[in-house]
């Protein structure tokens, strides 16, 4: 019994001292130990204690060498890796501060981009409003210019002098040598300055086949000032008498009384009026007596020759 206990203790001591860089206990070493124990059990019990004492150290060395050689001859094979659990490190307030600061920077960037796009939209809208206002201002300026022009035109119309022909008659007291009379009047509100006028008379057919002669020297025409509502009368007499019994006032022999008057208004603008009246024509001439009993021929405007600016 003591031998058996000694054998077990030696076996446990050998197993508890693992070889470096080897697994302290494996299936191979376990099998080797079991075989070794079996051999020990199978040895005869009649061995003397002296022999055991002499061979104790040698048996121990030989068993250790045998175990070492057996461990070297059988490599370790790992069939399955053990599960590994990684526990994440616990975050402290510094980590949370970094995360918060980064999130704040990202939020600030997004806010800046939103403000930039909003500013761009506002700027574009303001530019469109400014463009519309500029267009409206231009339209208003053009309208103002038109209003000013109309006011000036109205002022000119209100203040300018208007000289027109008020009456043209043919004085036929001497039927062989009739006389043309033209009456002018200033119908405006201001005087007409530098009034130059001339008058002519000519017997011709109707319609005219020739050009009526104008004043041979317009610079020698009379120059005057005609005030508002003032009348001015010009007369012209036929230079050559008709033969006795000549019938006048027909289409073949129509008397033309014509002329021109030019003047300046108070603003300095230049105006003119041309006129042409006939006694005869397609409707023929008509005589009448005026309030003084003088024989006169009724004259009317011709279809051409009457115009003014």
pLDDT digits (tens, 9 = 90+) for 90-123: 667 777 888 888 888 899 999 999 999 999 999 9
Q: Are residues 12 and 58 in the same domain?
A: yes
Q: pTM for this structure? A: 0.53
Q: Are residues 210 and 279 in the same domain?
A: yes
Q: Are residues 170 and 299 in the same domain?
A: yes
In a domain, 253, yes or no: yes
Q: Are residues 170 and 293 in the same domain?
A: yes
Q: Are residues 191 and 208 in the same domain?
A: yes
Contact 281, 248 (CB under 8 A): no
Instruction: Decide the pairing of beta strands 287-289 and 179-186.
Output: unpaired
pLDDT in tens, 130-181: 999 999 999 999 999 999 988 888 877 888 889 989 999 999 888 889 999 9
In a domain, 88, yes or no: no
Mean predicted lDDT score pLDDT of the chain: 77
User: Of 73, 88, 123, which one is at a domain's C-terminal end?
Assistant: 73
- 34 DSSP assignment: H
Q: Are residues 127 and 201 in the same domain?
A: no
Q: Are residues 216 and 282 in the same domain?
A: yes
- In terms of residue numbers, what domain contains 185? 163-308
User: Of 159, 183, 209, which one is at a domain's C-terminal end?
Assistant: 159
Q: Are residues 210 and 136 in the same domain?
A: no
Radius of gyration of the chain (CA): 72
Distance CA 262, CA 308 (A): 10
In a domain, 115, yes or no: yes
**Distance, CA of 268 to chain centre:** 45
Q: Are residues 210 and 258 in the same domain?
A: yes
Contact 275, 168 (CB under 8 A): yes
Which is higher by pLDDT, 47 or 20? Answer: 20
Name residues whose C-beta falls within 8 Å of residue 163's C-beta, 6 or more positions apart in sequence: 184, 185, 186, 187, 188, 192, 195, 226, 261, 263, 271, 273
């Amino acid at each position: 019994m003591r031998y058996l206990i000694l054998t077990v203790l030696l076996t446990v001591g050998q197993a508890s001292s693992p070889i470096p860089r080897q697994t302290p206990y494996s299936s191979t070493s376990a099998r080797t130990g079991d075989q070794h124990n079996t051999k020990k059990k199978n040895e005869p019990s009649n061995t003397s204690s002296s022999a055991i004492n002499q061979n104790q150290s040698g048996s121990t060395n030989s068993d250790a060498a045998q175990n070492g050689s057996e461990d070297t001859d059988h490599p370790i094979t790992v069939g399955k890796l053990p599960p590994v659990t990684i526990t994440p490190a616990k975050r402290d307030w510094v980590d949370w501060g970094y995360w918060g600061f980064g999130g704040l920077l990202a939020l600030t960037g997004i806010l800046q981009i939103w403000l930039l796009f909003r500013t761009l939209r506002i700027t574009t809208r303001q530019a469109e409003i400014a463009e519309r206002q500029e267009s409206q201002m231009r339209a208003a300026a053009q309208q103002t210019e038109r209003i000013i022009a109309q006011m000036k035109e109205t002022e000119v119309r209100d203040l300018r002098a208007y000289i027109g022909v008020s009456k043209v008659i043919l004085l036929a007291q001497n039927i062989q040598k009739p006389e043309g009379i033209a009456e002018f009047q200033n119908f405006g509100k201001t005087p007409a300055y530098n009034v130059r006028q001339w008058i002519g008379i000519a017997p011709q057919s109707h319609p005219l086949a020739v050009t009526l002669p104008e004043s041979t020297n317009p610079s020698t025409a009379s120059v005057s000032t005609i005030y508002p509502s003032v009348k001015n009368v010009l007369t012209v007499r036929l230079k050559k008498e008709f033969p006795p019994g000549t019938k006048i006032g027909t289409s073949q022999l129509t008397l033309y009384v014509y002329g021109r008057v030019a003047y300046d208004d108070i603003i300095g603008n230049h105006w003119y009026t041309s006129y042409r009246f006939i006694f005869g024509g397609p409707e023929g001439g008509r005589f009448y007596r005026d309030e003084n009993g003088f024989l006169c021929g009724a004259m009317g405007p011709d279809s051409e020759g009457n115009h003014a600016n």
